[in-house]
Amino acid sequence: MKVTETFLKGCYVIEPKIFNDKRGYFFESFNKKEFEEKTGLKIDFIQDNEALSNKGVLRGLHFQKGEFAQSKLVRVIKGKIQDVVVDLRKESETFGKYYSIILSEENKKQLFIPKGFAHGYLVLEDETIFAYKCDSFYNPVSESGIYFNDRQLDINWLLNEEELILSERDKNLAILNQNRVL
């Protein structure tokens, strides 16, 4: 696997080695030993999640606070998304900066998101299946989020706002500079 750190320290793009032949393809979606060797990080994923969404669905920007903060390894099994992460680590030089990447069934790229980041994604194709691993269990008391269209973040979403489908919860998330976010 090829592992490349983004400009957000600790956030990595992972490109698996894909073996194609007339039968189809095979790739190793995660190898703990190789991941730890290439990133220098120790990780213990304990929960896998999967979501099916149609084009225009925007989920996020979500994160968990405190002892339930999560690192995630995200990927697309079917379809295509714009994946976005925001650095919320107050001591970081890139606090409040975002990174965006296209993840798809074609490119098979994955994104490792460390603790201290908000995460969201915009679905770009119908019937997209998104999957991710977490190193901490979901805890509703520690969940939080940032409004997807926060002007301070100035995220360049790939669809127009009129095309977006958001949950009621995501429509009412705080903006970054509101104390209740962090």
**Given 12, 132, 138, 147, the catalytic residue:** 132
Question: Per the structure block, which two tokens stand in for 161?
Answer: 């706002």
Catalytic site residue 121? no
Contact 61, 145 (CB under 8 A): yes
Catalytic residue (one of 62, 99, 121, 138): 62
From CA 51, how far away is CA 39, in angstroms rounded?
27
132 is catalytic: yes
Per-residue H/E/C for the chain:
CEEEECCCCCCEEEECCEEEECCEEEECCCCHHHHHHHHCCCCCCCEEEEEEECCCEEEEEEEECHHHCCCEEEEEEECEEEEEEEECCCCCCCCCCEEEEEEECCCCCEEEECCCEEEEEEECCCCEEEEEEECCCCCHHHEEEECCCCCCCCCCCCCCHHHCECCHHHHCCECCCCCCCC
Residues identified as active-site: 62, 132
